[in-house]
Amino acid sequence: MSVRETTTLRWIRASLAVFLKDWRSELRTRYAMSALVMFVVTTISIILFSLGGEGASPEVLAGMLWVVIFFAAMSGLSRTFVMEEERGTGMTLQLLTPPGAVFAGKLLFNLVLGAGLTLLTVVLYAFFINGFIVRTLSIFLLTIALGSVGLAAASTIIAAIIARANTKGTLYPVLSFPILLPLLMTVINATRLASDGAPLGEAAGEFQILISYIVVVITVSTLLFEYIWKD
């Protein structure tokens, strides 16, 4: 404390503290992770059963990939806020640290969790689902990266909202879907382009939409979070 520390440094430290707290808590309890992994595995096996050895068109499979990712996100990404609310630790957090740091930390946590879940889904999907082909890898990888960031960004602010409502579980997909729809439509379209083997340039419009979506959602969330967080 003797050294005069800049406020910026305190913001970074506090945000990281929120992130690390959630991360260590997750490593000890494995609440969100086990739910996510099981969800992805079950959903992909249901798809396998329903396809029954017959293939589907790459267009349909591209869409289905994001269906799995969306619902898996809905099963796990609300954990970070709902957990605080259920255990009553939200007030402790409010007492200790500013809302901005809470949001930054939780967003970071969901970004990591979201990236992990997307990666897991893509690997399992590519491994087990025959007929899912990616011809333009660059489009596919960029879509996966931007898609998981956008998904985590929108899911985080909606999670903060539903943590304060009474019917947390059922409400989450209901509130998230209209917000995520622009993102989902864009990533599905981009994934199709990747399956069709379109050149990278053809997906430039999709990437522009995804990037601006991410910027807009994170900006608005940061501005509004304080209202949700403080009683």
Where do contacts with other proteins occur on this chain (CB under 8 A)? 1, 5, 7, 9-11, 13-14, 16-18, 20-21, 24-25, 28-29, 87-89, 91-98, 100-101, 154, 157-158, 161-162, 164-167, 171, 174-175, 177-179, 181-182, 185-186, 189, 205-206, 209, 212-213, 216-217, 220-221, 224, 227-228, 230-231
- Closest CB 133 distance from other proteins, rounded Å: 21
Return the C-alpha torsion angle 116, 39, 165, 112, nearest 10.
0
Nearer to other proteins, 9 or 38 (CB): 9
- Closest CB 49 distance from other proteins, rounded Å: 28
Q: Return d(Cα 58, Cα 215) in angstroms, integer.
A: 30
Angle CA(154)–CA(156)–CA(157) in degrees, nearest 5?
A: 75
Nearer to other proteins, 20 or 38 (CB): 20
Nearest alpha-carbon partner for 212 in 141, 131, 150, 136: 150
Q: What DSSP designation does 97 have?
A: S
Nearer to other proteins, 78 or 221 (CB): 221
Q: Return d(Cα 118, Cα 52) in angstroms, integer.
A: 24
Nearer to other proteins, 100 or 116 (CB): 100
